[in-house]
Amino acid sequence: MSDESSNQLPPVTDAAVETFGLTRHYGSLTALNSLDLTVNKGDLFGFIGSNGAGKTTTLRILSTFLSPSTGTALVMGHNVVKEADQVRRILGYMPDFFGVYKDMEVTEYLDFFAACYRIGAAKREQTINDVLELVGLSEKKGALIGALSRGMQQRIGLARVLVHDPQILLLDEPASGLDPRARIEMMAILQELQRLGKTIIISSHILSELETLCNRVAIIEKGGLIYSGPVQGVQSQFSKKQAYRMGVAEHIDRALELLLEHTEVAEAELEESGDRIRVELVDTEANASVLAKIIVNGGLQLIALEPVEMNLEDVFLQVTSGETQ
């Protein structure tokens, strides 16, 4: 092998996806602003941001549908602009809205896309059977796509993405519009795909599901990266206030007044149940004894006091403002 051909091989790295200073302008609008992002091989990676934050733009650049204005994006070491054909062979992209040919049978639809990936006719039937089994729709192979439920159509869309056995999956809101059962089924499929060695980047607004599904997440706003790392790390890094849930024997409105009078308390409000108060302390190093002292010194009886763990949704709301570029 010549030195020239050796130089064209991607470098050995644990990164499946890397972006360096990735920027995209639409006229005077900056959709992405110097985004540096790394997704490791085998990650089930949650991509989080408000509408207009730059998530879809990033996924479209990675999938070679859109060119960056400046910066670089690599997929398995291949440059998405200079080596677009190589990227397409190893990547599967499922946009948030995708078209299905509703008058086609499931097998016809998948056979068409398998042929587009130049999978030989002799191999296509087994490939289609395999992907339908993976998404749990083997019994629907002869059905018209238009007769399937929204959840089943989403799974057919995922099967289409899988026909060429990509190493990396980019899924933009794959559970959008699905009922709870269909969402659970979709998440189970993604977990199985990760177990099979796929690297998955999933954009979703359902943060509670990403929290349990993903091992790593990134939060972006106005096209810039706020956080990228383990799911557990986002709470510890951005939890600016210590939160507690407390209850008193009686006069809960008076307890709320007492709490709001003290400078140690950042926020205090009645929960929907009406019998508990959620309290956030200004000082993250402070502990529950501060709250107990306020209530007891106010002549009330404390009957419940427990810490509240911030979830991914709490952190997201705390560190973002929902602004777009």
Residue 2 has pLDDT above 50, yes or no: no
Q: What is the pLDDT of residue 58?
A: 96
pLDDT at residue number 160 = 94
When mean pLDDT is compared across 21-30, 65-74, 177-186, the lowest value belongs to 177-186
The answer to whether residue 318 is domain-embedded is no
239 pLDDT more than 90: no
Q: Is the pLDDT of residue 258 over 90?
A: yes
pLDDT of 1 > 70? The answer is: no
Q: Are residues 121 and 150 in the same domain?
A: yes
Average pLDDT over residues 82-98: 92
| Model pTM above 0.95 | no
CB-count exposure of residue 157 (10 Å: 0-12, 13-18, 19+): buried
**Does 260 lie in the same domain as 179?**
no
Summary mean pLDDT of the chain: 88
CB atoms within 10 A of CB 85: 8
Query: Cα(98)–Cα(184) distance, rounded to whole angstroms?
Result: 21
Band of residue 238 on the pLDDT scale cut at 50, 70, 90 = low
The span from the CA of 86 to the CA of 107, in Å, is 27
Q: Establish if 323 belongs to a structural domain.
A: no
Answer yes or no: is pLDDT of 7 > 60.
Answer: no
The 10s digit of each residue's pLDDT in 9-32 is 555 578 999 999 999 999 999 999
Residue 70 and residue 184 in one domain: yes
Domain presence at residue 296: yes
Mean pLDDT to the nearest integer, 229-249: 78
Q: Find the mean pLDDT for residues 91-108.
A: 87
- Indicate whether 218 pLDDT > 50: yes
The confidence score (pLDDT) of residue 233 equals 73
Question: Same domain, yes or no, for 51 and 146?
Answer: yes
Q: What is the mean pLDDT of residues 227-234?
A: 82
Q: What is the domain extent for residue 211?
A: 3-236
Q: Is residue 322 part of a domain?
A: no
* Residue of 100, 49, 64 lying closest to 319 (CA atoms): 49
Which amino acid, one-letter code, is at 202? I
* 196 lies in the same domain as 286: no
CA distance 91 to 61: 12
Among 193, 208, 236, the domain boundary falls at 236
Mean pLDDT value across residues 162-186: 90
- Give mean pLDDT, residues 197-222: 89
pLDDT at 94: 93
Final residue of a structural domain among 207, 236, 265: 236
- How many structural domains compose the chain? 2
Give me the helix-helix angle, 312-319 and 231-238, nearest 10°: 50
Instruction: Give the confidence band of 324 by pLDDT, cuts at 50, 70, 90.
Output: low
Q: What is the CATH number of the domain that holds 289?
A: 3.30.70.100
Average pLDDT over residues 269-276: 90
- Residue 50 has φ and ψ, to the nearest 5°, of -65, 165
User: Of 84-88, 116-120, 195-199, 279-283, which gets the smallest average pLDDT?
Assistant: 279-283
pLDDT at 231: 81
Phi, psi of 78 (to 5 degrees): -95, 135
Mean pLDDT across 50-64: 92
Residue 36 CA to residue 19 CA, distance in Å, equals: 5
95-105: burial string, b at 16+ Cβ within 10 Å, e else: beeeebeeeeb
Q: Residue 285's pLDDT is what?
A: 67
At residue 119, the pLDDT reads 93
302 pLDDT band (50/70/90 cuts)? very high
Residue 97 has pLDDT above 80, yes or no: no
The three state secondary structure string of the chain is CCHHHHHCCCCCCCEEEEEEEEEEEECCEEEEEEEEEEEECCCEEEEECCCCCCHHHHHHHHCCCCCCCEEEEEECCEECCCCHHHHHHHEEEECCCCCCCCCCEHHHHHHHHHHHCCCCHHHHHHHHHHHHHHCCCHHHCCCEHHHCCHHHHHHHHHHHHHCCCCCEEEEECCCCCCCHHHHHHHHHHHHHHHHCCCEEEEECCCHHHHHHHCCEEEEEECCEEEEEEEHHHHHHHHCCCEEEEEEECCCHHHHHHHHHCCCCEEEEEECCCCCCEEEEECCCCCCCHHHHHHHHHCCCCEEEEEECCCCHHHHHHHHCCCCCC
- Check residue 6 and give its pLDDT: 46
